[in-house]
């Protein structure tokens, strides 16, 4: 790769959200207030639904995934993300540990009333909520609820360096 190609290369990222409060997505968009001018030269935001409507799930360098996996549909979606990304970073506690979304895993049958049972039966919920690495390979984690932004910035820099963007 020549110098001109290196200078024009951008880190292709995606940001995905599953079962969670989406607090890390809010922090990510807040980080853009400070870093957007810098990042737009370095990052190709290929799939970020909170930022744009035309998204592309292919050829991602890094996929940042927030949230636990609570349904068969989500399992299939997160597997597609993994197939289309060189690296996957779990973002926030739900993705990293399953909690607090997985707190329903501890419910006994006696804890589930008719209203809760109705939701479990009428929507696409799995019996158990899973952390991300229970479903796919995870390369890095940024824990916290919401995510630790200092750690996130460090991970972003790691991948910008790994792909020789900076």
CA–CA separation, 15 and 163 (whole Å): 18
Question: In 3-state terms, what secondary structure has residue 115?
Answer: helix
What residue ranges do the domains of the chain occupy? Answer: 3-162
The mean of the pLDDT values for the chain is: 93
Q: Comparing 35-39, 54-58, 98-102, 132-136, which segment has the lowest mean pLDDT?
A: 98-102
CATH 3.40.50.700 for domain 3-162, yes or no, is yes
Q: Is residue 26 over pLDDT 70?
A: yes
Beta-carbon contacts of residue 102 (< 8 Å; ≥ 6 apart) = 68, 94, 128, 129, 130, 131
């Amino acid at each position: 790769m020549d110098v001109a190609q290196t200078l024009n290369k951008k880190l292709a990222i995606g940001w995905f959200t599953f079962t969670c409060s989406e607090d890390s997505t809010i922090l990510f968009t807040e980080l853009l207030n400070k870093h957007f001018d810098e990042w737009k030269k370095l990052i190709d935001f290929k799939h970020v639904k909170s930022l744009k409507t035309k998204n592309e799930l292919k050829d991602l360098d890094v996929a940042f995934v927030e949230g636990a996996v609570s349904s068969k549909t989500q399992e299939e979606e997160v597997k597609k993300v993994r197939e289309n990304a060189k690296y996957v970073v779990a973002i926030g506690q739900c993705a990293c540990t399953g909690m607090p979304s997985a707190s329903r895993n501890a419910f006994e049958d006696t804890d589930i009333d008719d209203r809760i049972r109705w939701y479990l039966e009428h929507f696409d919920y799995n019996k158990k909520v899973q952390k991300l690495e229970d479903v796919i390979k995870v390369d890095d984690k940024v824990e916290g609820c919401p995510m630790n932004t200092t750690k996130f910035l460090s991970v972003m820099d790691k991948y910008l360096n790994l792909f020789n963007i900076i």
